[in-house]
Amino acid sequence: MLTRIAVLVSGGGTNLQAIIDAQKSGIIKNGEIVAVISNNSGAYALERAKKAGIDTYTVLKKDCASQAEFEGKLVDILEKCGVQLIVLAGFMSILSENFTSKYDKRIINVHPSLIPSFCGKGYYGLKVHEAALEYGVKVTGATVHFVNEIPDGGEIILQKSVAIKKGDTPEILQKRVMEQAEWKILPRAVELVSAGIRKEK
């Protein structure tokens, strides 16, 4: 049986699309996406999931009285779907230690820098690329890592570097890091971890 995957999203879902495409093309052969969960009802990622025939769910923080209730609703969906691996693909919500410890080595995230550079609290989206350009680094990239209670603090699974070019803006750099690094290493990491989970069974 394939490893059952849930992808948690908040926005456009380009990384979700990379995983869907990798599943179709056979790069991911040990796992299958069984659920896409968003904390934003307007996320285009939900449309991408529907087009691919994947079940979608929405859990809004504003409808929950606490972080515990929010995470409880996520857990209910994950358990209902028999999920074994959680992929955070642009999921703009920090998860508590209660949640991450429940799914130890079962949650992976992609971050748009070479951790330990430009990561941790407050570093997300364009802010990461703005910081890299401001600092003047010549090389950046992306990292896929396991998720624990420390933002961007879990064990690294894969990294890929991307050159910074003269005249780069945060937007141009963001696009290059996505195309050359994130969309390549996230599907590969999903396959690696999925294969590992299947071996454990």
User: Known catalytic residue: 111?
Assistant: yes
Q: Within 10 A of 27 (CB to CB), how many other CB atoms are there?
A: 15
The whole-angstrom separation of Cα 93 and Cα 74 is 12
- Given a contact cutoff of 8 angstroms between Cβ atoms, the answer to whether 165 and 132 are in contact is no
**4, 48, 111, 129: which one is catalytic?**
111
Q: CB within 8 A of 68, min separation 6: which ones? A: 96, 98
Looking at residue 100, its amino acid is: T
Contacts for 48 with CB less than 8 Å, ≥ 6 apart: 13, 16, 17, 20, 36
Catalytic residues: 111
